[in-house]
Structure 1
Amino acid sequence: MSEDQKKDTETSPSQDSGDEVKKDFKGLLGSVRKFLSDLLEIRSNTDAAATKESIIADIPFKGHTSWILVCSIFIASVGLNANSTAVVIGAMLISPLMGPILGMGMSLAINDIDTLRRSLKNFAVMVVLSVITAFLFFYLFPLRDESSELLARTKPDIRDVLIAFFGGLALVIARAKKGTIASVIFGVAIATALMPPLCTVGFGLAIGKPWYAAGAMYLFTINTIFIGLATFLVIKFLRFPMVRYANSQRRRLIARLASITGILVMIPAGFTFYNVFQESLFMKQAQSFLQDTVEVYQFDGAGRYVDNLTKLEYVDDGTSMIEVVFMGDELVPENVVNTWRIQKNEYNRLKNAELHIIQGGKDDSEEKFNYVSELYEKNKAELLNKDEQIRMLEEELVSLTKNVGKQIPFQDISAEAKANYENIEALGFSYQVRTDFKKMDTIPVFEVDWKDEVSSGQKEADTKKMLAWLKLRLQDTTLVIKEVE
């Protein structure tokens, strides 16, 4: 046997072993692929006709649905006003807001222009009716506190985008399944939170703060766009049958219009996601910068950092701002401020942001100290009603404390007056509020009743003498004496 034949004979067992490993590996990959396919495959269990029918049935807003919407808006407004999360959740569970949004997403995916037109019309009715209802509630209701539940709907961030998109995905997948999963629909109704932003729009308009309304409408728009986008993508993935038109030219026109509309919807969705994502990154780096610099700075004297007055403003044109406020007599040295500015530039998203330091009687933009006062008053106006009640109680306590200091030991005074003035018949005492129209004061007043047989000259002399004695006795120069007629 030749040497080459010997080598072939020697290597053939290892080749067989290698082939077996490859076969086993391919078999494992095939098993994993089949497992994942069975786990994640949803097309086979989709009822396209029933899903389309149920979505179209939820689009109209009239009759019972309109009244349900009005009632849910009122409930949500009360919950937001009372800062009650449970009440807001209850309002979201009965809200019929999802119908037109799902209708828009589905109609774009299947080229159904008639359904799209109806969805847009009912969506506009839904928004207008909701905002008007919330506006009337907050305009007429006497308690209009700026609760944390309301303020949370005025500043959307990247998390709201993700919640809306994945909530929309879950909702459409649940609606497409044979035998709809009701619990998923309820969960999405809570998570995507379409109703509270519309209530906050009405609240902002009712109290004359349009920036609240603008922020809340921005959040509502984000939720609407990404729920619609999720619906569009799922319907396309599930390959719902396209709407066919008898006229081939009309069919092509409708398909083009639907495609263009879908693209136009996706453009602002992508733009919104990008902007909110950039703002979230800016806010994260700004918070990290403050934690590493401003918040760890130690004052030697009476200065302090007022963290609740910190203002972070993101503007996509590069004019963002970080504004921090220090109170007290001690100022942060200029070299420390310059060091903070250098450290700020180490964060790539903060390089073009302006750092404003407001402290004591000056700030680095040379504005007056009254700016700090205005800023404080603005933030104080956003406190809850309980803070106003505490302030009133504190003022009342101060007033009561002052009056306690003026309390007259009347029993002792009357006994001493009887011992010193034999002509006295009776003695009275009261406080009298008096004003000279410049200021108001509380005056202690004594009323003296002299015996009838005492002459007027004696009464006058005794009254003058008693007045001097009482002023000295009580250490109060404001008190007066009146004779009983």
Structure 2
Amino acid sequence: MATLRRYFNAMPDKEDEAETVRAISAGVSFRGATLWVLVFAIFIASLGLNVNSTAVIIGAMLISPLMGPIIGMGLAVGINDFELLKRSVKNYIVATVISVITAMVYFLLTPLDEAQSELLARTAPTLYDVLIALFGGAAGIVALATKGKGNVLPGVAIATALMPPLCTAGFGLATGNVLYFLGAFYLFFINTVFIALATYVGVRMLRFGQRPSDGGRRQSELRRYMAMIVVVTMIPAAIMTYDIVRDTVLKANARRFVSEQLDNAGTRIVSYDVDDDSLALRVVAVGRELTDSAIAAAGRRLGDYKMGKYALRVIQGTESDSVMMLNDRLTTMRTTSENYSAMLREEAAKVADLQDRLNAYVRYDAVAPEVAREMGQLFPAVGAVSLSLSSQAAVDTAAVRRLPVAVVELKGRATLSPQERSRMGGWLKARIGVDTLLLVTTSGGR
């Protein structure tokens, strides 16, 4: 035991206590540059969740200063510094509100509103997240309070992942998904509580000096409240963990039962699933049919696989053929539907292209009367105007382009000077809204 104590004794590596308290207290406040860094980190984390990029999310967690007030709360309780506790709680609330609002604003503006896997991973916390936060917080306070910090703090920031849950909560608010918001905010609260708890325990184990208090009454009340918060925080996570573990064990038992009891030579198990509503294990088998006695004997052995309350339901023969035919039919319908959708998209693109071409030709019919009336006022020599869209083909390359053509018929023997013709061409291009125009003038007798 003496040898173990020598190896695990962290007191010789303890940093100057006053310096540690000063450094943690300085990291509590969120003002000026620190607040801007927090906002930028939230935007980076939101982008990472939006595009499902793990590297971007990790970068945001390294930048985020959110750990400061959480460690400050644990330190304050550990050394009875109630002023530091008030500052830490206040700045924690400010940072949390600003973070959620920033993330919500981003997700309201972004065109990508689909929940990716990185985002969904922050909506269902379990007891394992409690342990991650607890051990991460313990590593963090040990690193802060001792001389050999190394790369511990960046690792703690990544492991505890304070930033992504807040961004996910903002996503839940932006999309109106209350479950996403509650699940993500609960994960963030778990991290907060257990990082602060680990900090408190670490401070006491490292024998930090305590500030004088009023007879220890406030300290005992604070510890009682902390214990209540820890217990209440753990209850939902424990329930979720129990459900996940139970489902995992149940699926493993079902897989083992099917493999050992039903998957015989000549009989192949296509699929199986556990239905909790009807308390039945449904198995679809093909090939050689299982006899009723074999099915009954296998059903009696369900208790050996901790599935005694479930009834065995084997679908085989014509039933399994019907199930497989239904699956094939659904697959065929899905494929056909996708093919029809692709055909409809292709036809819609063709119709849109034809409509654009038609609009290009018809628009000149609509504007020709107005153009003729305006030209009669601007150019008295003009008797009539014809507007159309022609196809021009190059002789050497055979390239075809559509070219607007304006045929202007002059009155009687009227003529246009080069300056008037140039002015007319410029006015027509501006009036019709084109860059190039072929202007043709004819006399009234032709």
Kindly report which structure 2 residues correspond to 1:199-214, keeping only aligned pairs within 5 A, or say none.
199-214=167-182
Change beyond 3 A, Cα 1:338–1:168? farther
The answer for the alignment partner of 2:38 in structure 1 is 69
Q: Is the 8 A contact 1:158 1:280 kept in 2?
A: no
Look up the match of 1:367: none
2:109 aligns with: 140
1:31-54, Cα deviation, whole Å (9 max, x unpaired): x723x3332111232132111111
- 1:238 matched to 2:184: no
The counterpart of 1:395, out of the listed 338, 341, 350, is 341
> Does the 8 Å contact 2:61/2:158 carry over to 1?
yes
List gaps (5 residues or longer) in structure 2.
Answer: 317-325, 348-446
3-state secondary structure, aligned to 1:142: coil
Residue 5 of structure 2 is matched in structure 1 by 37
Q: In structure 1, the residue corresponding to 2:11 is in which secondary structure? A: coil
- CA-CA distance at 1:163 after TM superposition: 1.4
Q: 1:351 to 1:198 in 2, by over 3 A?
A: farther
- The corresponding residue for 1:163 is 132
Instruction: Please give the residue correspondences for 1:319-334 in structure 2 after superposition, counting only pairs within 5 Å.
Output: none
With normalisation by structure 1, the TM-score equals 0.57
Determine if the alignment matches structure 1 residue 288 to structure 2 residue 257: no
Q: How do residues 221-370 of structure 1 correspond to structure 2 at under 5 angstroms?
A: 221-245=189-213, 250-269=214-233, 271=235, 274-293=238-257, 305=271
1:123 CA displacement: 1.4
> 2: distance between equivalents of 1:205 and 1:302?
48
One-letter amino acid of the counterpart of residue 97, structure 1? L
The equivalent residue for 1:149 is: 118
Query: CA-atom RMSD, angstroms?
Result: 4.4
CA displacement, residues 372-425 of structure 1 (integer Å, 9 cap, x when unaligned): 99xx9xxxxxxxxxx9xxx87873258769xxxxxxxxxxxxxxxxxxxxxxxx
Aligned to 1:470: none
Within a 5 Å distance, the mapping from 1:28-177 to structure 2 comes to 33-34=2-3, 36-46=4-14, 47-177=16-146
Q: CA deviation at 1:324?
A: 8.3
| Alignment coverage as a number of residue pairs | 330
Q: Deviation at 1:145?
A: 2.3
1:169 Cα shift? 0.8
Q: Write the distance in 2 (CA, Å) between the matches of 1:225 and 1:341.
A: 47
CA distance in 1: counterparts of 2:38 and 2:313, whole angstroms: 48
Unaligned runs of 5+ in 1: 1-31, 313-319, 361-371, 377-386, 402-485
* Alignment of structure 1 residues 401-480 onto 2, 5 Å: none
Q: Give the direction of change, closer, same or farther, for the CA distance of 1:142–1:267 in structure 2 (3 Å limit).
A: same
